[in-house]
Amino acid sequence: MRVPYCVPAAMSVEFSARQSVEQVEEGRELAPKFDAEGLIPCVTTAAGTGEVLMLGYMNAEALRRTIETGEAHYWSRSRQVLWHKGATSGLVQKVVELRIDDDQDAVWLRVQIPGDASCHVGYRSCFYRSVPLGPGDFSRVLKFEEQHKAFDPKKVYGDAPNPTKL
Amino acid sequence: MRVPYCVPAAMSVEFSARQSVEQVEEGRELAPKFDAEGLIPCVTTAAGTGEVLMLGYMNAEALRRTIETGEAHYWSRSRQVLWHKGATSGLVQKVVELRIDDDQDAVWLRVQIPGDASCHVGYRSCFYRSVPLGPGDFSRVLKFEEQHKAFDPKKVYGDAPNPTKL
């Protein structure tokens, strides 16, 4: 039977089975470890500045699509859907490099972002506040490290529900 | 009753209760969210280069100790103990800045490390391998982005069990 010309190729980056510590740590096989919920955490940094933009999660499909398309895909835990970052906001993340860690249970994406913004609250990075360090028995007042929002989330997301959960 | 002079202060950085999305996202209160296992993920980057060194996890005590001492503490999931990073290897991480993300369920540490090394396998970063990107139905051969180990893990850790789990 002839396969019709227009059928797209299956998304089928292959993952190896995890067989030994040496294979996972010192080898060249991609053998990611997903947690009990089928997810792997992903650190995403700005390729230019090294700033950490966000910490997200991928399921196997999100990781495969990210590798195949070169655009960051995540699993949205709040919405329980595959999440092509930027599909709503236009803030697509172009992946410059994808790395995996020693025991292959975490991913690091270096990305380029349009408009210099990534966070749904409107800031450049999700990590826009710092915590004062040092000894002492008291509450810590967070310091805003970004003084202004890069975009107005109401204009970008409209009435879409806020993903933050208490 | 007089408190003896030499009693150390309790580790008691206070965390706020999570009451509203606005408080968590836009406020100045530290109200971290720990997962079902009592953990919060932590991205650790080199303060100088911005390179991602590791992705670890903290329980409440590890986060408090990190804030109070300015040295990175984690919860070791493989060993199930509070983990003062560097206690065995000497590779203590001095925290230059601690940030928390929009919904306060992730931490970012910028650290200085001695000996330019952080990973238990011997590399500078735990993320010493990259995954080739692009379309195609095939396994991906990982590329080593660090050519040489920064230290010999056998000399540093001796016979301590390897933390990597299959």
Q: What tens digit of pLDDT does each residue of B49-96 get? A: 899 999 999 999 999 999 999 999 999 998 899 999 988 878 899 999
The verdict on ipTM greater than 0.90 is no
Nearest Cα of chain B lies from the Cα of A3 at a distance, in angstroms, of 16
Cβ <8 Å between A126 and B101: yes
Q: What is the pTM of this model?
A: 0.88
Task: Flag whether residue A27 sits within 8 Å of chain B, measured between CB atoms.
Answer: yes
Closest-CA residue of B relative to A26 is: B121
The B residues from 60 to 99 touching A (CB cutoff 8 Å) are 67-70, 95, 97-99
B10-18, long-range: CB < 8 A, 24+ apart: B10/A137, B11/B61, B11/B64, B11/B65, B11/B68, B12/A137, B12/B64, B13/A136, B13/A137, B13/A138, B13/A139, B13/A140, B13/B63, B13/B64, B13/B67, B13/B68, B14/A137, B14/A138, B14/A139, B14/A140, B15/B60, B16/A139, B18/A166, B18/B104
Task: Flag whether residue B41 sits within 8 Å of chain A, measured between CB atoms.
Answer: yes
Task: Flag whether residue A131 sits within 8 Å of chain B, measured between CB atoms.
Answer: yes
Sorted by sequence, the CB contacts under 8 Å of residue A139 that are 6+ apart come out as B13, B14, B16, B29, B30
Task: Flag whether residue A35 sits within 8 Å of chain B, measured between CB atoms.
Answer: no
Name the pLDDT band for A4 (thresholds 50, 70, 90). very low
